[in-house]
Amino acid sequence: MSALKHYTAQGYDGFKQTVETIGKGQRIVALFTGSKILTTGKSWCPDCVVAEPVIDQIIKEPPVSETDVHFITVFVGNREVWRDPAVGFRVDPSLKLTCIPTLLEVGKKAKRLTEDQLTNKNLVIEFFVDEE
């Protein structure tokens, strides 16, 4: 039986540290999303707010294969941090994020879903099914 191990990371450095802790050779899926506003508990990013319930529902009962999946919710920071063209998420050649929310399989450049795709439950389910 497969399992989904959930982590939370704050910012680019937190993301890199979490990936390092998990280690090489593991299947890592990361959701990059806007940080939450303390007073509301919701992300400042409207697309992230819409996608969150869809993703939350799927990660509670993930449709994954035999391999364990390490799932990281990565809070990219506030709007000003995210908009900075030099922020690590945008310039890291292994990420090259252009929008949030983004669901990305770390180490697989072609495997990503963004923005409106993340409100499509079927696309998100397919994302978690490992083809290998």
The catalytically annotated residue of 9, 19, 30, 48 is: 48
The catalytically annotated residue of 45, 51, 76, 113 is: 45
- Catalytic, 99? Answer no
First-to-last C-alpha distance (Å) of the chain = 16
85 vs 10, 45, 48, 64, 95, CA distance in Å?
Answer: 18, 17, 20, 34, 13
Query: At 26, is the secondary structure helix, strand, or coil?
Result: coil
- Catalytic, 48? Answer yes
Q: How many CB atoms are located within 10 Å of the residue 57 CB?
A: 12
**Catalytic residue numbers, as ranges:** 45, 48
